[in-house]
């Protein structure tokens, strides 16, 4: 049977050992930093899409834009930390924010799509990763 030994760099092992019981808090802060980057782009894209280029006068109330936000950081059954950019429910008029966002993103018969989520995901990928890494490094240095 073959045997392999992998040695981690000393500075990496030292940083890992300093995390200790702060791992969840640091992961949460890092994810929130990345989520804020994506949220700001989604918000900008949504503002640019709502009520623009319509045949008729816009009936936008601003409620969809106001419902956009970040979820709290949660840990799933596999131990992965997650944060989501999405819409709070319910609306005052009883219509689902998710339904309106889907119609806006993908369109419907007689209404062309005005994508705001997919372009934001593509445009913010590297900036989000960078924000997460920078926040993680800052938090580890504080320990």
Cis bond leading into 59, ω under 30°? no
Report the pLDDT value the prediction gives residue 140, as an integer from 0 to 100: 81
Give me 4's structure tokens: 């392999």
| pLDDT (mean) for 127-133 | 91
Phi, psi of 45 (to 5 degrees): -65, -40
CA distance 97 to 69: 12
- Whole-angstrom distance, CA of residue 139 vs CA of residue 132: 11
Give me the helix-helix angle, 117-142 and 97-106, nearest 10°: 120
73-115 pLDDT, tens digit per residue, is 998 898 888 888 889 888 888 889 999 999 899 988 888 899 9
Rounded-to-integer distance, Cα 52 and Cα 54, Å: 6
Distance, CA of 139 to chain centre: 20
- As beta bridge partners, residue 111 has 108
Q: What pLDDT score was predicted for residue 127?
A: 93
Residue 1 pLDDT class (50, 70, 90 cuts): very low
Cβ(37)–Cβ(128) below 8 Å: yes
| Of the candidates 70, 1, 89, the residue with the CA atom closest to the CA atom of residue 32 | 70
């Amino acid at each position: 049977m073959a045997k392999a030994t992998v040695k981690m760099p000393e500075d990496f092992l030292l940083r890992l050992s300093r995390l200790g019981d702060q791992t969840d808090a640091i992961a949460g802060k890092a994810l929130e930093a990345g989520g804020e980057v994506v949220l700001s782009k989604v918000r900008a894209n949504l503002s640019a899409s709502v009520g623009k280029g319509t045949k008729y006068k816009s009936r936008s109330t601003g409620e969809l834009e106001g419902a956009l936000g970040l979820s709290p950081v949660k840990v799933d059954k596999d131990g992965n930390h997650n944060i989501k950019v999405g819409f709070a429910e319910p609306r005052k008029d009883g219509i689902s924010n998710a339904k309106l966002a889907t119609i806006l993103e993908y369109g419907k018969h007689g209404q062309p799509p005005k994508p705001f989520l997919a372009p934001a995901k593509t445009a913010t990928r590297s900036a989000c990763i960078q924000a997460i890494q920078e926040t993680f490094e800052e938090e580890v240095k504080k320990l």
